Each structure stands twice: as C-alpha cells, then as structure tokens.
Amino acid sequence: MKVVIGIGLTGLSCLRFLIAQGEKVAAIDSRESPPDFNKFQQEFPQIPYTVGSFDSPLLNQAQELIISPGVSLQEPPIAKLIAKGIPVIGDVELFARKLKKPLTVKRQLLHLWVKWLLTPVIPLKFVAISVNLS
C-alpha cells in the first residue's frame, strides 16, 4: 500500500493520481483537522486514514510513502520507516515517474500544471519535470 503523508492540497492531488492509477492507498496527517478535510472525506470515503498523529498503524502496511512538502522526514514514525528501507518520495517524483520523456512548460502553461496538481480535471500531459520560464 502507498501511504500519503499530509492531507493538504498536495496530499489530495497525490491521492487522486494514485487512485486513478489503481493503487491501494491510505492517508495520514498529524493535524486533527487538516485543510479541506471535509472535502477529503467526501471525495475519498473508501480510503483508510489517520489524523492527529503520524504514529499510525497504517504505516505498518506502507510499501512506499508519498510525503507532502511541509512534512519533515525527521518525524520519528517516518524516520523509522526510512531506516527500514521503505521508499519515500514527493509529489513531483510521483508524477514524473509516469512521464515517458521530460516536458518543458512555457510560462503561460505553468498555471495549468499547478492547477492539475490541485484538481482532478487537468490531463496528465500537462505535468512538467523541467520548467522553462523564458
């Protein structure tokens, strides 16, 4: 199972992406009430989750962790899994793995890439690895 750490905007985009890929997922957030938590519960009623602590039994099932940018890898439950060799990646790595070749995004398309990360409506073809702002 892939466990998404952080149920904010980045975590939600990762969950959408993983579910679209047919992955089994769970979600964890240290906050009792993460931003848009109601949206999370409405959009993903089938996903097991823990809020209020990173120390969750769901971590015992993790084959890979997808960490949101605001979460420290030094958090003891996360550091313990890293020490055990569980792979840890971020959102950019997650999306980049599905690309066949790097894409360059012009300034006018950058907003579409960001919007795709935040909503489930922009197709994968707009994801970028390298961004050329010239």
Q: What are the residue boundaries of the structural domains of the chain, listed by start?
A: 2-95, 99-131
**Using one digit for the tens of pLDDT, what is the confidence trace for 16-70?**
999 999 999 999 999 999 988 999 999 999 999 999 999 889 999 999 999 998 8
Architecture of domain 2-95: 3-Layer(aba) Sandwich (3.40)
Q: State the pTM of this model.
A: 0.74
Strand ranges in the chain using DSSP code E only, listed in sequence order: 2-5, 25-29, 49-51, 64-67, 88-89, 104-105, 130-131
**Using one digit for the tens of pLDDT, what is the confidence trace for 61-95?**
999 999 998 899 999 999 999 999 999 999 988 98
* Lookup result for tokens 């390298």: 130
